[in-house]
Amino acid sequence: MNKKTDREEAMDAAEITVVCRCEDVTLEEIRDLIREGYTTAEEIKRITRCGMGPCQGRTCRELLLAELARASGRKIDEVAPTKYRPPAKPIRLGGIIEGDSSDLG
């Protein structure tokens, strides 16, 4: 486990739940958007950037779907997921032309 940063500790103390760590999106923000009437994962992803960071939504994607499922009283697999976009892992632009396959994961 990585040691928590100062900011993360402060957020823990304030009981702020971060859903997307790359883009710093909290559960409260997501709930606010659902309350405003945004009902699809695609829209919430686009407004908050939840899942758009370098990790490509590895954990937050599921958390967002779970929250939408709970709010709508559906099962998680009944909520339309967001599309996966390539690349699966970040690739350095310079590496692409050098044909550096070590970057390709």
Binding site for other proteins (CB under 8 A): 27, 31, 34-40, 42-43, 46-47, 49, 52-54, 56, 70-73, 85-87, 90-94, 96-97
Nearest distance from residue 55's CB to other proteins, in Å? 9
Count of beta carbons in the 10 Å neighbourhood of residue 55: 16
Which is nearer to other proteins, 1 or 14 (by Cβ)? 14
Single-letter amino acid, residue 85: R
Angle at which helices 41-48 and 60-72 pack, to 10 degrees? 130
- Rounded to an integer, what distance in angstroms lies between the CA atom of residue 105 and that of residue 88? 8
The residue (of 8 and 103) whose beta carbon lies closer to other proteins is 103
In the complex, least distance from residue 61 CB atom to other proteins, rounded to whole angstroms? 13
